[in-house]
């Protein structure tokens, strides 16, 4: 049990959160929090509604869930670009097939973003005209 003592809105608040442990495959154990709202085993709690809760009880969305298609495309492209050298060059030691898959993914990101942008522009052009 972990006792949390903090102030929220100038008022002192105390909350107890239970800890459980699960065995790991190669020995040892891993600690988890038990959500005070639903008793789910979670790795992290979020401060919502004046107390600590799991993602589900606190209604916390992942950042990617609030992104539009264009924003998600930029994130995916950034991850792919991080695997390549400058100017999308194949890094030394990377297999050509791997480079081909990454490059195809980059082209797909570009195309999906352009299609989303065209759809956006068509929707707004219809509203204006």
* Pairing status of strand 2-8 against strand 11-17: antiparallel
Q: In whole angstroms, how far apart are CA 122 and each of 65, 73, 114, 127?
A: 24, 19, 12, 9
Asked if residue 129 has pLDDT above 80, the reply is no
Supply the mean pLDDT for the chain.
93
| pLDDT value for 70 | 87
- Give the span between the Cα atoms of 74 and 121, in whole angstroms: 18
pTM: 0.62
Instruction: Write the pLDDT tens digit of every residue in 91-108.
Output: 999 999 999 999 999 999
Instruction: Write the pLDDT tens digit of every residue in 21-53.
Output: 999 999 999 999 999 999 999 999 999 998 999
């Amino acid at each position: 049990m972990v006792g949390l003592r903090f102030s929220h809105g100038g008022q002192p608040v105390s909350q107890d959160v239970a800890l459980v442990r699960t065995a790991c495959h190669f020995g040892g154990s891993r600690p988890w929090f038990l959500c005070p709202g639903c008793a789910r085993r979670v790795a992290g709690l979020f401060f919502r509604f004046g107390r600590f809760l799991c993602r589900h009880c606190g209604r916390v969305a992942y950042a990617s869930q609030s992104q539009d298609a264009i924003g998600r495309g930029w994130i995916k492209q950034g991850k792919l670009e991080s695997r390549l050298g400058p100017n999308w060059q194949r890094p030394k030691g990377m297999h050509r097939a791997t480079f081909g898959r990454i490059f195809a993914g980059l082209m797909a990101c570009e195309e999906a973003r352009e299609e989303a942008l065209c759809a956006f522009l068509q929707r707004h052009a219809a509203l204006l005209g």
